Amino acid sequence: MPAAALEAWAQMLIRNRINRLERLRRKACKQWERGRHVHRLRTHARRLRAALEDLSDCVPRAQALIDESKLLGQKTGKVRDADVLAHKLQRYRRTAFSAEGSEIDAVCAPLRKQRKAAHKPAKAAVRDAHLKMPS
């Protein structure tokens, strides 16, 4: 059993990470089309999960919180992957010749469809995710 001071510190750290994740979740819901918020949300969900895995003996319901943050990351993964790839392709498109530009456009079209298909379940997962520190 961990010492009381260690448990208090671990729970404070996890509570702070959950609060930060919740603020990012709200921002992502309000400004969904800005992929930056989805990226930050995923990054902080991963950081929360890592801390929970390291400190699971000190945090009640740690495994449930790990599972919830992992699910959030999985549900938003396809949208984020499509955003990253589309952004890179658009950067390449700026310097491409006409023929290459047309081919890049042809690659981007299905990518937009992929993002659109992943959009609804990802946004629902972000909207519905409410990680709470157990009392």
The two tokens of residue 63 are: 């495994």
Return the CATH superfamily for domain 4-128. Answer: CHAD domain (1.40.20.10)
* Count of other CB atoms within 10 angstroms of residue 103: 12
Rounded CA separation 59/21 (Å): 17
| pTM (two decimals) | 0.80
The whole-angstrom separation of Cα 127 and Cα 72 is 10
Tens-binned pLDDT, residue by residue, of the chain (135 aa) = 578 999 999 999 999 999 999 999 999 888 877 678 888 999 999 999 999 999 999 999 999 999 999 999 998 888 888 888 888 888 888 888 888 888 898 888 888 888 888 888 888 988 888 888 766
| Phi, psi angle pair for 82, to nearest 5° | -65, -40
